[in-house]
Chain A
Amino acid sequence: MKADPMGVATGSHYLDGDHACAEGAIAGGCRFMAGYPITPSTEVAERIAERFPKIGGMFIQMEDELASMAAVSGAVWAGAKSMTVTSGPGFSLMMENIGLAVMMEVPCVVVNVQRGGPSTGLPTLTAQADMMQARWGSHGDYEIIALSPNSPQECFDLTITAFNLSEKWRVPVLFMMDECVGHMTEKVIIPNADEIEVTPRKYYKGKKESYRPYRFNGSNSVAPMVKAGDGYFIHITGLTHDERGYPVINAEAQEKNVKHLVNKILKNEEKIRIIEEDQVDGADVVVISYGISSRVAMNAVEAARKKGLKVGTLRLVTVWPFPESRIRELAKSVKAFVVPEINMGQISLEVERCAQGNAKTILVPHAGGWVHDPTDILNAIEESIV
């Protein structure tokens, strides 16, 4: 399906990542947003608040992030494409109802413009330290999709992708921006509506009596949805449930329910995967990065290549699910992975796990507040080969 032209601000713009994300959401079909202000994400909500009344959208500023995330799920069951936006402290509050959305299989997008933590941390300065929280920050066992854009243009493009993935896999998609990308201003091209591919929600069309909200066509797929108000009389719960959506409190139901939540993502990892590779064939070192760090890393990679080192790059656009099979494969041909990230070591541990001892993994940590000095990454690249 193509985007609704009413919302698409076609043209060449000069936008920061936050505003570009808001435009991406609108182009992606989002018409409900509930949020609570927090730096450095507020500009997304502000732009939505300004734009929605003119395109038939509903924006509501809730009393907190617990409420925002709960309202998003409610609006999705009413039939709206929905989103919320926050940063670290709010992301923590959202975890409870992100879990509910995971359990109810609610397609929605949660934007986290990351800032330094823990706690109030560095409200105005960047970090990439919520990546593990994105993966498993809510209690219980599940898998999620998370994207990491590295430019305002990607904040636009990938927010649409985030909505599309959420509809396809009936899962909250976490859009993991960072303060740098959110506040950096660059050229953003917004195409015509008929050039934007939007995944519509898959609705059930059979007999009313036969509808089961969690009956899947084949394993690792998701069920079509219905809307409240359509006469299906659905029951949807955060409790472990059967295909009717009815609570079942025993180990067998849990096994089915949890395995489904995990497998629909993990078994489809290659279909969900978006990664960018450059010069990995024959490389001695591959720099694995995401978000703003991938742009800083390029500086170091170019310097290393000038010195004659064989350096490849792999950028995680989807960070979760992790491209495990690809890293495993690469580990057999490279000597080392260098992983710069603005945290004390989160994704690097995943890389190390997947490398299975076949290649070294070298973390280039940064506690947050600013991006890496490219020299630190260059040094790590050089050290990794000796």
Chain B
Amino acid sequence: MNNNKYLREELLRQSGVNPKKCMKCGKCTATCPAFDEMEYHPHQFVSMVESGDIEPLLKSESLYKCLSCFACIDRCPRGVEPAKLVEAVRLSVIRKQGGNRLSADDVPSLLDEDVPQQLLVSAFRKYSK
């Protein structure tokens, strides 16, 4: 829990999110297009980081299901911007040595004739450092 205190601070600082503004209305989660695939939903990222219960998030597949659609950012009535926390938690995982989710060796198997460059560069931004 002690280490989590520093992690929590870092996550809040680099995301710029103030979880105390959240009124737990669940709108972010209701609008999230990745809802069905997520074990922890955007509003849970907010409350779990706030309470320091961050370990489960670090291990969760939910980190890689967020589409960066910014819907939860725009539709939160309190301006909490949950996706910035999802991003911050994901970065704290992939920035660690060995934390990459995607490697260049994976690319050939992902390619089909029509794959736009944008797809690969975006996936690398999100899944690797």
| A is bound by B | no
